[in-house]
Amino acid sequence: MRNESLNAEPVPSGKEGFKPTTSAETSRHAPGTLVDKYGRHITYIRLSITDRCDFRCTYCMAEEMTFLPREKVLSLEECLRVVRTFAGLGVSKVRITGGEPLVRRNVMWLLERIAALDGLKELVLTTNGSQLNRYAADLMSAGVKRINISLDTLRPERFKAITRIGELDKVLRGVDAVRAAGFERTKLNTVMMRGTNDDEFADLVDYAVANDLNISFIEEMPLGDVGHGRSNTYFSTEEALALLSHRFELVSTLETTGGPARYWRIPGTETRVGFISPHSHNFCDTCNRVRITAQGELYPCLGHNDAMNLLPLLRADAGDDADATLRAAIVESMGIKPKAHDFTTQLDAPKVVRFMSMTGG
Ligand code: SAM
Ligand code: SF4
């Protein structure tokens, strides 16, 4: 038996929906683990805890955004329940993201409880850095292991132009606060944009080296209609590597964090330079993750529209069976994880209509 809604277009957020499989069917794979139909083990989730943000980055959002009404957003208790359920299914790592996760009220309440969950080994966070000056020490106390900070430029005017709102100085103070709090292996994420920040890649690497940070460069992905053709701004990993090799000796390594990035080392420094190359280097065959949006949709792939809506299950009055039903839905969602994304053919006409801030980067 297959739930037909699994093959459908994005699942609507009504209460219709999921009919659990029998326990015999859900245990087709090793019980207590998540394995998709291509044999990939899912051990990592990215949970967006808000679609809101205090920036409006040009590659991520449109200038005018309509955010979700509050009642459609998972409560912190629902977020915790989702992560607990995944942890019970063998997921050992969770990344909290958004939108900007640190603008969510009482975020520390959630982080502390997630960090304490049985079975979970790593709680990590992706942030734009705007609130880190205030929160870095609390994040450390809450049990967050590592932090990724988005930083596309070191020039204040340019930073304002890219984020439409943000102040560079505040983010740089946030980076200092993270270092002072004692976080290790903090990583910068830089989206590569031709004509916008391609003259700064080496400066960003210098900044990472000077501050003992790692840095990953990301090829821009066609997610949502942000109002510009992305083929104009696309900058490939190969070109960036060629550019950086004028200033740095880059030694390629086989190191992996289990994710899509490929890494290079700069001898004599602690800095690792990564590249996430959805266009030029497909990494889908080793994908180990799924994403959950702030409104409770489980997206097995960032690059596809198929989703399983968990919200009705989280809010249903299902009595004693509630947890089993949620668990069964998550197991069943493995059936809609596609083999690969298809970003390469859709630079200017994205088939994925969601903004990155919706799905959680
Ligand atoms: N607000 C936080 C931040 O900016 O780090 C977390 C959410 S943000 C959506 C997560 C990551 O996605 C950021 O590093 C951001 O640069 C990246 N991102 C957003 N839109 C993207 C796109 N179209 N292509 C590639 N990366 C993107
Ligand atoms: Fe906000 Fe992060 Fe998207 Fe920028 S990339 S608009 S900071 S969610």
Cα–ligand 1 centroid distance for 357 (angstroms): 7
**Do residues 330 and 262 touch, judged by C-beta distance below 8 A?**
no
The pLDDT of residue 305 is 81
- Compute the C-alpha angle 353/236/169, nearest 5°: 80
Measured from the Cα of 220, ligand 1's closest atom is: 24
What is the average pLDDT value for the chain, to the nearest integer? 87
For the cut 60, the answer to whether the pLDDT of residue 23 exceeds it is no
Beta bridge partners of 122: 93
Instruction: Kindly state if the Cβ of 191 falls inside 6 Å of ligand 2.
Output: no
pLDDT at 255: 84
d(CA 206, CA 186): 15
Burial code of 52-61, b = ≥16 C-beta within 10 A, e = fewer?
bbebbbbbbb
Q: How far apart are CA 242 and CA 250, in angstroms?
A: 10
User: For the CA atoms of the chain, what is the radius of gyration?
Assistant: 20
CB atoms within 10 A of CB 304: 17
Q: Which of 43-52, 177-186, 282-291, 307-316 has the lowest mean pLDDT?
A: 282-291
**Placement of tokens 């998709």 in the chain:** 36
**Is 53 a pocket residue for ligand 2 (Cβ < 6 Å)?**
yes
What's the gap in Å between 128 CA and the centre of ligand 1? Answer: 8
Q: Indicate which residue's Cα is closest to atom 10 of ligand 1.
A: 361
User: Residue 349: which pLDDT band, with cuts at 50, 70 and 90?
Assistant: low
The more confident residue out of 30 and 150 is 150
Half-sphere exposure of 286 (CA within 13 A, CB side): 11
Residue 225 above 90 pLDDT? no
Ligand 2 within 6 A of 129 CB? no
Output the pLDDT for position 20: 40
* Nearest alpha-carbon partner for 308 in 66, 45, 126: 45
Which amino acid, one-letter code, is at 32?
G
Q: How confident is the model at residue 262 (pLDDT cuts 50, 70, 90)?
A: very high
For ligand 1, say whether the CB of 102 is within 6 Å of any of its atoms. Answer: no
- Residue with CA at minimum distance from ligand 2 atom 8: 99
Q: Is the pLDDT of residue 11 over 50?
A: no
Nearest CA to ligand 1 atom 25: 220
Residue 241 has pLDDT above 70, yes or no: yes
CATH superfamily of 4-359: Aldolase class I (3.20.20.70)
- The alpha carbon of 311 is separated from its chain's Cα centroid by a whole number of angstroms, namely 20
- The preferred substitution site among 132, 159, 190, 191 for testing ligand 1, maximizing ligand atoms within 8 Å of CB, is 191
Alpha-carbon torsion (204, 209, 210, 212), positive or negative: positive
Average pLDDT over residues 201-230: 89
Q: What is the pTM of this model?
A: 0.89
Token output for 287: 């994908």
Residue 111 CB-density burial (10 A; 0-12 exposed, 13-18 middle, 19+ buried): buried
